[in-house]
Structure formats: structure tokens, C-alpha cells
Amino acid sequence: MPDRIQRKKTERQSEEVAEAEVTPTESAAIDDIDDLLDEIDEILEENAEEFVRSYVQKGGE
Amino acid sequence: MAVPKVCGLETEYGILVRGADNNPVTASALLINAYTGAAQEQVAFDLIAEDPQRDARSPDPLDPYEFDPELEYTPVNAVLTNGARYYVDHAHPEMSTPEVRTPREAVIWDRAGEEIIRQSMTAAQRLVPDGAEILIHKNNSDGKGNSYGCHENYLVDRGLPFGKVISAVMAHFVTRQVFAGAGKVGCELPGMASDSVSFQISQRADFFEEEVGLETTVRRPIVNTRDEPHCDPAKYRRLHVIAGDANMSEVATFLKVASTAMLLAAAEDDPMMEMPALANPVRAITQVSHDPTLTAVVSTYEGTTVRAIEVQWQLFEIARLWVERTGGEAVGEEDCNLALRQWEQILSGLESDPLTVADRVDWVAKQRLINAYADRHNVVAGSASLRAIDLQYHDMRPSKGLASRCGLVTLVDGNEVQQATTHPPTSTRAYFRGRCVERYGHDIIAANWDSMVFDIGVDPLRRVPMDDPLRGTAELVANVIDNSATAVDLVAALAEPIG
């Protein structure tokens, strides 16, 4: 029983966090697009052409 | 009265093996076995209880992909302690979340599914040859005309005629991509060149050929008619939705589920309600997707023309009025209020400046990366590097995934997601399923969405039906499970009336 009370409390706190977090912002992300592009340059698949060509899936569902 | 919108998500992940034989069936099986072998007692999902069409999902012996002789193949179909089903579907690993009661819970268990995929990748890495790697993507297309789905399921009142279900969701499924589309470089519409569209809103829109139908793999319909309720068919339908993208953004997943659930509930409460209707939904879904400027118009049933966002505003208003009238109980009051605020803000943002919603709409976030990259490196639309960014947006490797780097806001916290990888939701029968797997896994012969079969050491096997998705909740069965040390105790206790 104490478990469940604790859990409820946690849910409520995180909902408050959620509210704060999804308040629309002039997204900070937009300002650091250059930093992000630097990172993409580092981690993008080395041989993009080969990677894209080899990416073949079977249809699903 | 609208029935509670119990819901769930099924995600087929893209899978690719590098540095070894690229057999997606074997790799999917290896991935899942690596996880279930490491994480829990294995409990098989009971395919026999599924209808023949579902049986068709088991691996086809005539499959043109040969099994890798070095890896033992096991048809994989596991039930997890969090109530989810984790299995190989065709040539993809698929995660079906447990049934949940609210859109927010859908986000938590969808994210938990991603986390389980990551844990599976780590576990599988120890089993593949040196230098080999299994890559997993949460996307819906390979860019070459092959698509795999992210399906949604909603509990619907059987009393609502199916024609009303269709009219409640058709215009939404065509236009909700403006906030729920995951974005795609290029075009896969049959008859059109790949580079005829440099960037489009949806991963999936190119693959729909019918308005309404039973198929999911060929001639895909916008509204799927599969009638397999996995619960009491006299009371309920399960609306099986195949016209959606897998989302990386939590807000997009949340709003996709919440908006659809609210519109279904509104139709249940007022079947005569006027819903926006389009003249040609199949044509419209690609018209909308192929126009990231959001200015294209589509024809309405009445013969006028309308922009996708205008249709969304009408649907928003229907949902808003329903919540105002009913309090939104069927979907969850807090979830409805959060969804309405997000829906309104996102539509307003898309109309004024889409970049303002780059922190919650996947296609906008992805397009922003692609445009910025193209500017910096002076590459032309549709080039391989831009297609690679498209794929890598959905990459499940923490070291490579771009979605986690581009500033998407979150709705749920990491602890909740971690907890949900091993714990079921408390609010549906998934609680009973997950707890039983956790506690009596050794004695479970088979599990299904609507039943569990126990071997209690004496004949016959005991089947526990779970016909009602709203029973088997923590409130109803936690004490029984906590007080039953063995499956024998549990079956005996369940024979007593639950007080």
C-alpha cells in the first residue's frame, strides 16, 4: 500500500514537470543549430551513399 | 456514453545487420531472444487463440530469406512482465505495448518499448560475430517503396455503427499528419519519381490506396476494418489504425493518440454529430503530405476546398466541445486538457511559423536539420547525405540517433519509462498479464490479449479469461496476486468471488 501512495505522488510531480516542459518556447534548440550541425558532421554515417543504398527493408504489417 | 478509451501502440522497427549476413528474420529473432533470455522467464504468446489472419503472421516457411545456418532460429513471440508482446512480425521486430487507459500512459509504454529495444541491442551485440552490428530504426519506410507500420488500437463501443466510426476518423487520419507526421526525404508514391518530392510530411502517406478495407500489407486502407476485438465482441470493437507514422516526439505520440481517442469518444456520445468529410481521402492524404508549406487545399465532400490545418481546427473544435460537455472522462480529464492545449498551440504555431513547433513535431524537427545541413554543405535536395539524416533521425543507437539531439521536449520522465520496461500499467487487464508473467512465468503455458493458460500440475490446464480490458487492474487483482505465492494459489483464489 505505501508503494502505491508513493507512486501516485511521483506521477503528480512529473505531470507538473510535463506542464512546465511543454510550455511553448522560442525553442532553445533553434539557437544552437550550428552546434547540432557540428555534431551531425561527427556522427553521420561515414559513407552516406552506401548506407542509404544498403538500407532495404521488407514490407511489414 | 463513450466507453473508456483503452488503447495501445504496435511498432514495427526497421532492422539492418552490418558486417554479417543481413537476414532480418534471424536478426529480429536474435534481438528478442537476447532480451528475453537475459531479462525474464520466457512466456510464449498464444497464437493458436488468434484468428487465422493473425496466424498468417507466423514466419512463412516459403520465406525467400534463408535462415542463417549459424544461428539457431526460434519463432519468437514473447510476453513481457510489463504486459507487452514482443515478437517477430514478417521481417521486423515488433513491440505491442500493453493496453493502457490514457494517452499519457501510451507514451510511457511506447518509450519503454524503445528502451527495451535498446537493451535488446546491447544484449544481442554479445551474440553477433566480431565487427557485426544490428541497427534498429523506429521509422516506417526504407525510402525504396517498402513500408512497415506503427499501429494504434482504441476500444470502441460496439453500439456505434462502423460507418460512424469511419466518419469520425477519416478526415483526421488524412490531416493529423500536420502534427503527427515523422517527415521523409523523397517520394514513394507509385508512378512518381523519388526526387519529385524533396521532403514530405509523412513516412506513410505514399502507401495508402483505399479508403476502407481489411488489408494491411497490400492495397492499404486509411481506415482498417480488421474486426478482432480481443475482448467481448458483444460490447466492444477494437479500432485498428494503420494510417500513422511512428513518432520520436513524445508530444506527437501523445497528441496523435489523445486527439483520435477524443474524436471517437465524441462520436460515441453523439453519433449524429457532423464530422468534416473529404471528397477523395486517398488522394488528399498524399496531397497533404507532399506539401510541407501547408498551403495546399483538398476537396471536401460538399465540393469546397480546404487546407489540412483548417480541417484540424474543425476537429479540434469538436474535441474541445466534447471535453467541455463531458469533462473528458472517457479519455482522462487531465490528458484531454493537456492535449487540447497542445493541439491548439501546435496548429497556431504551424500557421504562423512552423519552426516554433520544431521542439514537438517530428517532421518540422527533421526538416529543420535537413535544411540547415543542406545550407551548410551546399548539397542538393534528395541527396544521399540528406536521406542518411532522415534515416538517422530514427536510429535507436544512443550514439547515433538524431531525434534525441534536436531539442524535442519530453512529456514523461526517464524513471517512469525505466519502471515501465518491467512493470505493467495498473489501469487495465495488462496489469494481471504482466504480474502473472513476473510471478508465475514458469507455470504459464500461453498468454494472449484476452486469456492466460496455467499449468498447475494437475490436468486439465486452467484458462483464465480476460474478456474485459478494464478488469484485471491493480485495484481489482493486486491483493489476489500478492497473496498467491504460486499459480496453484492464484487459480484457487480466482475461483473465489473477488470482493
How is chain B split into domains, by residue range? 7-419, 429-494
- Residue B16: is its pLDDT beyond 50? yes
* Beta-carbon separation of B92 and A60 below 8 A: yes
Which residue among B92, B399, B407 places its CB closest to the CB of A28?
Answer: B407
With the C-alpha atoms ordered B294, B299, B301, B303, is the resulting torsion angle positive or negative? positive
For the residues A29-35, what does the mean pLDDT come to?
A: 74
Confidence of residue B215 (pLDDT cuts 50, 70, 90): confident
pLDDT (0 to 100) of residue B309: 98
Q: Half-sphere exposure of residue B17, counting CA atoms within 13 Å on the CB side? A: 25
- Residue A8: is its pLDDT beyond 70? no
Residue percentage of chain B with pLDDT more than 70: 92
- Residue A29: is its pLDDT beyond 80? no
B144: closest CA of chain A, how far (Å): 7
Confidence of residue B217 (pLDDT cuts 50, 70, 90): confident
- Residue B341: is its pLDDT beyond 80? yes
- Residue B451: is its pLDDT beyond 60? yes
Q: Measured between alpha carbons, how far is B472 from A8 in angstroms, rounded to an integer? A: 19
Residue B335, H or E segment? helix B333-352
- Residue A25: is its pLDDT beyond 70? no
pLDDT (0 to 100) of residue B496: 77
For the residues B384-388, what does the mean pLDDT come to?
A: 97
3-state SS, residue A2: helix
Q: How does the average pLDDT of chain B come out, rounded?
A: 92
pLDDT (0 to 100) of residue A30: 54
B206, B282 Cβ separation under 8 angstroms: no
For the residues B453-461, what does the mean pLDDT come to?
A: 90
Q: Which residues of chain B make contact with A37, given a CB cutoff of 8 A?
A: 372-373, 376
A32: closest CA of chain B, how far (Å): 9
pLDDT (0 to 100) of residue B409: 95
Which residue among A17, A49, A57 places its CB closest to the CB of B413?
Answer: A17
Q: Which residues of chain B make contact with A60, given a CB cutoff of 8 A?
A: 12, 89-92, 94, 147-149, 217
Cell digits for B481?
A: 496476486
> Could you tell me the pTM of the whole model?
0.90
Q: Which residues of chain B make contact with A9, given a CB cutoff of 8 A?
A: none
- Interhelix angle for B103-125 vs B250-269, to 10°? 140
**A-B interface: how many C-beta pairs under 8 angstroms?**
139
**pLDDT tens across B36-80, in order?**
987 666 677 665 444 434 322 233 333 333 333 333 334 688 999
A54, B142 Cβ separation under 8 angstroms: no
pLDDT (0 to 100) of residue B75: 64
Residue B89 annotated in active site: yes
Which residue among B142, B359, B405 places its CB closest to the CB of A25?
Answer: B359
Lowest mean pLDDT among A6-10, A14-18, B82-86, B260-264: A6-10
Which residue among B16, B104, B411 places its CB closest to the CB of A55?
Answer: B16
pLDDT (0 to 100) of residue B40: 63
ipTM score assigned to the predicted complex:
0.89
Is the domain spanning B7-419 CATH 3.30.590? The answer is: yes
**pLDDT tens across B247-272, in order?**
999 999 999 999 999 999 999 999 99
**pLDDT tens across B91-146, in order?**
999 999 999 999 999 999 999 999 999 999 999 999 999 999 999 999 999 999 99
**Burial, B225: exposed, middle or buried (Cβ in 10 Å; 0-12, 13-18, 19+)?**
middle
Q: In DSSP terms, which residues pair with B223 in a beta bridge?
A: B212
For the residues B315-337, what does the mean pLDDT come to?
A: 98
- Residue B325: is its pLDDT beyond 50? yes
3-state SS, residue B153: strand
A60: closest CA of chain B, how far (Å): 4
A57: closest CA of chain B, how far (Å): 6
For the residues B411-423, what does the mean pLDDT come to?
A: 97
Q: Half-sphere exposure of residue A21, counting CA atoms within 13 Å on the CB side? A: 17
pLDDT (0 to 100) of residue A31: 61
* Inter-CA distances, B172 with B101, B216, B272, Å: 21, 19, 17
- Residue B186: is its pLDDT beyond 70? yes
Confidence of residue B29 (pLDDT cuts 50, 70, 90): very high
pLDDT (0 to 100) of residue A20: 45
Cell digits for B134?
A: 544490428
- Interhelix angle for A2-21 vs B333-352, to 10°? 20
pLDDT (0 to 100) of residue B395: 98
Confidence of residue B437 (pLDDT cuts 50, 70, 90): very high
